[in-house]
Amino acid sequence: MTALKEAFPALFVNARIDTFWLGRDSLGEVICRIDAYTAAGADGVFVPGDLDLTTVEAITGHSRVPVNVLASPRYPGSILAEAGVGRISTGSLLYRAAMSEAMRSLAVLDGDEPAEITSVLSYQAFSDLNRPQSS
């Protein structure tokens, strides 16, 4: 990354830290990566995952560069901004919201109760729908 920033100093480099996304819930590892990427010239960091507000605040409180997180149905953008988030990405949220509503509508057509899906499916729940069921 250092060579990239030297060659293109005006380029904004947003370093992605997938620790939480991959299920390794280690705030310490995230903090170490923020420090390493910032030292190498990152202009921002992106920490995707279903983060609770305390974790977001710990990350933004430590980072010297803007922090980007995924939008969450649990926290409005204004709450994330108050927690110090500099950028909010929708990721698959809009697609999952549309598909959740479509599935709710289809359930009604099948005569099922629409309450089976009461909110936007999580990334994991949506992914599980696409996995073949073992017999």
Q: Is pLDDT of 44 > 70? A: yes
* 107 to 104, 121, 126: CA distances (angstroms): 5, 15, 16
What pLDDT is recorded for position 77? Answer: 92
pTM higher than 0.85, yes or no? no
**Whose CA is closest to 63, among 49, 45, 79?**
45
The pLDDT tens digits of the residues spanning 60-69 come to 999 999 999 9
Measure CA 43 to chain center.
18
